[in-house]
Each structure stands twice: as C-alpha cells, then as structure tokens.
Chain A
Amino acid sequence: MSYSNFTDVNPLIAVYHDSNYSETGGTMYMDIDTSLHSGTISSNTLTLDYPCTLRGDWYGYLSSTQNGSIINSQFNIDGQDKYQARDHVSGYGGGNIGGPEVFFGDASANVNIKARYRTAGSSVTVSTYRFFPRITGILMK
C-alpha cells in the first residue's frame, strides 16, 4: 500500500477552454487547453493516470439557425464513442426532439479522452464562451 502526497495529487478533474473560440465543420473535437487538477492535455486530448468518471457540457451557439441544425455532443474515449447528448443550441423548428444537454463517460487509465460535436451539416460554426467546453470528473480506484 502506498499513499500519495495530498499536495501533489487531487482526485478532481476540471478541464476547459480558457477563452471563447469557434470552429467549423460537421464532426469536430472540442478544444480544451486548461486542466485545473488532474489530467494532461495535448492536442485537445486528455489523459489521466487513473480510471475516472466524466461529465461534459458546453455553452455557446451555432452559426446556423436553419431547421435541423441541432448539435450533439459526446465523449470519444480510447477511440470509442460514448453516449451522446443534445446540446444547448438547436435549429428552431427542426428536429423536434428534446434530450439531455450534458454527456457522460467513464474511462480507464491512460487512454485518450476527447469530446466532440456533431452538427447537422459540414459548414456549421460552433462558438463557445470562455471556460467552455468543460469536463469535470473524479479519479477512481
């Protein structure tokens, strides 16, 4: 049995993008650049030394208000897509569906953790506010 120094290790995960930004496409990985506690970020990919449980969301808007411009968000963990959520902005009158606006995933240690958007087209611009997208979670045994 070994113990870790509390001042060096924190079981909390809090990852986000530290400024507002935009990106355009059909399927896009969310930009993340800041990790407050556990986790290393490289090329919008988060890696953690332990298994973890994760919760993601974002706050922003789309360039398109056309019908069907609903956006979906999800984790992609170790190359595998996780359950998807409908996110904050959708085309008014389009889709006619409602769903959760947060997305979840559990990950093993030392795997590539990404989050991504799926839009209804190939030229939809997603814009987020500062501190979003964000991923929070807890390291687990």
Chain B
Amino acid sequence: MTYSPFFATSSLKSDILQSKESSEISGTLTAHYDKDDITNTDVSSSNDYQFVLSSASGSSFLLEGSILVNNTDTNVATAVMQWYDETNAAFIGQKCRITNKIDAGSLDPAYPTTAIALVLASDFGGSDITVSLRAISTSGNATYPAQLTGSNNDRVVTAVLKILQT
C-alpha cells in the first residue's frame, strides 16, 4: 500500500462578506459588500463594490454573490446580476435572478439566486483582476437593502459574497 502525501485539509482560503445596501455606480446597479469582512483571502477592496483578485497569489478564485430585492409597491420586482471583469471588460460566470415574489405552491428556485464566477490562475496574465457584481437588468420599483427583517421569529435575510481561493 502506498500513501499519498495528502494533508487532511485543503489549502483553500475562504471569506464571507455581508452585503451592504446596493446602489448604482455610473448608472448600473452594483452589489456592495463589507470589505472589512475580508480577512483570509488575497482579495482587496477600497469601496465595497470593486474587488481586486491578486495575481501575485498564483491562485484561482471562486466568487458566489447575491443581493436583496425589496419592492416598493405590490408588483413584481426582479434583478438579474452577473459578475463583471473590469480589467478585461467582460461579463463572466453564471447569472442569478432575484425576484421579490415566489409562488408558495411552486418548487423554486426557477433560477439561480447566486451569481457565480470562477477566475482561474491562468486567467491573470500578470495583472490583478478587478471584478464587481452588476445588474444585467432590473424590473419593478425596488430597493436593494443590506438586510431585511421579517415580522416574527427573528427572521432576517442577508445577502453575502462568498469567496474561495485555492
């Protein structure tokens, strides 16, 4: 029998960032997350919405983020979000779609509710990559708060950005 020199744990790093109120940046709804929650990964941010992935780390990054949609009337409001690679001016990864109403009788989600992007180490080309989570489209009259509180049982909904680094 041979043994692989395999640690019992992975070398992955993880951060979970709590959402802040999302707002428009240059006319585009952009997700905001608390940059101060970054403690483990080689990701940096100076403004809570642009996240710089370190090229020098030699790592790959998996990003999974979402926002909250809170409509201001009784109609349906939606937001379709996708990660945007600002360095290379391209949308990347899988879109998410958040809607404020879901039929209780249906089996949801009909759409992913987190936007996922995988930035591989081979994608960097020697420079850092800056990403942000932007709206592809929105509908309805909505706000995009950091947190929503339910009427009882201390119910709270919080969107997060989950970062995994290899």
Chain A contact residues: helix, strand, loop or mixed: loop
The A-B contact count (CB < 8 A) is 161
Q: Tell me the dominant secondary structure on chain B's binding face.
A: loop
Bound Cα distance from A96 to B7, whole angstroms: 47
**Other-chain residue from A97, A101, A120, A138 in contact with B109 (beta carbon distance below 8 A):** A101
- Within A104-141, the residues touching B (CB, 8 Å) are 104-106, 118-121, 138-141
* A102 beta carbon closer than 8 Å to chain B: yes
A53 at the binding interface (Cβ < 8 Å): yes
Tell me whether A88 and B107 are in contact in the complex, defined as CB-CB below 8 angstroms, given that A26-B152, A102-B113, A118-B154 are known contacts: yes
Of A16-24, A39-47, A58-66, the one with at least 4 CB within 8 A of chain B: A58-66
- How many residues of chain B get a CB closer than 8 Å to chain A's CBs? 52
CA distance A93 to B6 in the complex (A): 52
Max count, chain B CB within 10 A of own CB: residue among A84, A88, A91, A119: A84
Chain A residues near B8 (CB-CB < 8 A): 4, 9, 11, 49-50, 139
Q: Mark A52-78, 1 if CB is under 8 A from B, else 0.
A: 010100010110110011101000000
Say yes or no: A99 contacts B151, CB within 8 Å. Answer: no
Please judge, given known A-B contacts A92-B101, A96-B100, whether A4 and B6 are in contact too, CB under 8 Å. Answer: yes
Assess whether B16 is interfacial by the CB under 8 Å rule. yes
**Sorted from nearest, which 10 A-B pairs have the closest CB atoms?**
A100-B66, A53-B14, A98-B69, A65-B104, A98-B100, A99-B157, A4-B8, A139-B9, A83-B158, A98-B98
List, sorted by A's number, 20 A–B pairs whose CB atoms are closer than 8 Å.
A3-B4, A4-B7, A9-B6, A11-B8, A53-B14, A82-B16, A83-B16, A83-B18, A84-B158, A92-B102, A92-B105, A93-B74, A96-B100, A98-B102, A99-B159, A100-B113, A104-B160, A106-B14, A121-B152, A140-B12
